[in-house]
Structure 1
């Protein structure tokens, strides 16, 4: 459960965090940090070791965690017998993200591979997601800015413009959840793709319609497309899409 503004909301988010406890007759949480650069040390006493279970802080690959959308024999998403509507949380502007992506899919690319930069812009300008400041290579950071050095240049965190980095940021440093079925998807959700011959997630797109057909807007091979069109196109190639996940942000902080 996540408490925001005094209200508890369920979340399926999972990720590494660091905690500090006081250990006496019981373990009492005194601080929490989702920045992996933070260092919190537990006492080396036997009582501390006996009361605290330490888990591996390495983020779990969504494929290993079985969070990827199941595909049928033809490589298209399996649908549940009775699709359930996905939960929507207050704060993050789902329709704003989708509307921004629709209206701006034709804008100039800033990079040769601009897919995640486009998604981040939609999250920021349309969805109201706030910057997270920190060193540019940290998964906990998420920001962009322009600076002058013999001409205007764009500076950004790795999470702003790298698909795998943004996926880790949303799942392990924000309040977000995976969706089990494409029929649960709604405008403003984000799709991350992993190709068979790629070692990690390498593409992101914005969902702009409800339901299993799932219209997408992206900076990629084709800006206006659908999920099935993307899957069918690459299934004809030597490097098909092996799996994908649909992520729903649950807040802006």
Structure 2
């Protein structure tokens, strides 16, 4: 069953004022069992993302749930780029990359930067779904705010990007592609499959995505959404030790080996 429903939330500012937000969402709900007693087996946030579960007890083993994350900031991936050779510019950032060459017509629009940033600001206090939830939060901002399309497929396939809820035995569980929930994998996905490019911190703007490389982890292990930028600094929203942080504070950390700012582009 495909249904549209309205989600209403109230944002409370630090000064005590409130702001009402409403959004219309489309979901696909899949039920199993007889018509007289249907059982919800799956809820998909995108109609392109589907998964058919067995009808018996084996449904539990058919569902792959994201593994527990390590105790640092976010789980890493298994891509060879987990251990990149970091070459930084004089500001401690990765060098900005040029615009890609002209691409064919009929391109999909790039994710909305303002939409991504606005969603991140308004929803930074939403419930965590993983032990380390920073990349899940960024992916949600890209999807719900930036309107970046999900791509269904294998969980470990770096070109795919999706999240869904499944209901084995009637119990809701969240599962996602590795690119959705791990910082290194999302960064690789954006660069390889979403025309993402490195941006100088002096050119950063709301909706750009911040990735942090930790020397102790030897991987890109944190992600955040830039919500304002200027003069080489940027303010971010994140699921981490605090909901609000700045690029300047992040660069002060001794364990930070590099910072990468990615801006997704138009895709076919």
Q: What's the TM-score, normalizing by structure 2?
A: 0.60
Please report how far the alpha carbon of residue 229 of structure 1 lies from its aligned counterpart in structure 2 after TM superposition: 1.6
Structure 2 CA distance for partners of 1:78 and 1:128, relative to 1, 3 Å:
closer
- Return the alpha-carbon distance in structure 2 between the equivalents of residues 169 and 93 of structure 1: 17
Distance of aligned partners of 1:204 and 1:125 in 2 relative to their CA distance in 1, 3 Å threshold: same
Q: Is the 8 A contact 1:175 1:251 kept in 2?
A: yes
Higher strand fraction (1 or 2): 2
Q: Give the corresponding residue for 2:128.
A: 109
Residue 172 (structure 2) aligned to one of 139, 152, 156: 152
Q: Given the alignment, which residue of 210, 213, 234 partners 1:191?
A: 210
Number of the residue aligned with 2:155: 136
Deviations 1:190-220 (A, max 9, x none): 0111111112111100000022220000001
Is 2:181 the counterpart of 1:161? Answer: yes
1:64 to 85, 89, 92: 85
Shift of the 69–103 alpha-carbon distance from structure 1 to 2, 3 Å rule, reads: farther
Structure-2 residue corresponding to 1:227: 247
Cα 1:172–1:62 change in 2 (3 A) is farther
Q: Quick one: distance in 2 between partners of 1:63 and 1:71?
A: 19
Q: How far apart are the structure 1 equivalents of 2:203 and 2:84?
A: 19
5+ residue gaps, structure 2, are 1-78, 97-107
SS in 2 for 1:169: helix
Separation (CA, whole Å) in 1 of partners of 2:95 and 2:192: 27
Extract unaligned runs of 5+ from structure 1: 1-57, 81-88
**Is the Cα–Cα contact under 8 Å of residues 69 and 243 in structure 1 kept in the other structure?**
no
* Distance in 2 of aligned mates of 1:110 and 1:61: 24
Match of 1:249? 264
Q: Is the 8 A contact 1:217 1:225 kept in 2?
A: yes
Measure how far apart 1:173 and its partner are.
1.4
TM-superposed deviation, 1:78: 10
Asked if the contact 1:115/1:220 (under 8 Å) is kept, the reply is yes
d(CA) in 2 for partners of 1:170, 1:208: 19
RMSD: 2.6
Determine the C-alpha separation between the residues in 2 that align with 1:143 and 1:202. 19
Q: Where do 1:35-74 residues align within 5 Å?
A: 64=85, 66=87, 68=88, 70-71=90-91
Moved beyond 3 Å, runs of 4+: 58-66, 68-72, 77-80
How many Å separate the matches in 1 of 2:156 and 2:149?
A: 18
1:126 to 126, 145, 165: 145
Task: Tell whether the 8 Å contact from 1:144 to 1:156 is kept in structure 2 after alignment.
Answer: yes
Closer, same or farther: CA 183–63 of 1 in aligned 2, 3 Å:
farther
Query: Is the CA contact 1:189–1:247 (under 8 Å) kept in the aligned structure 2?
Result: yes
Taking structure 1 as the reference length, the TM-score comes to 0.64
Local SS of the residue matching 1:183: coil
Q: Name the count of aligned residue pairs.
A: 177
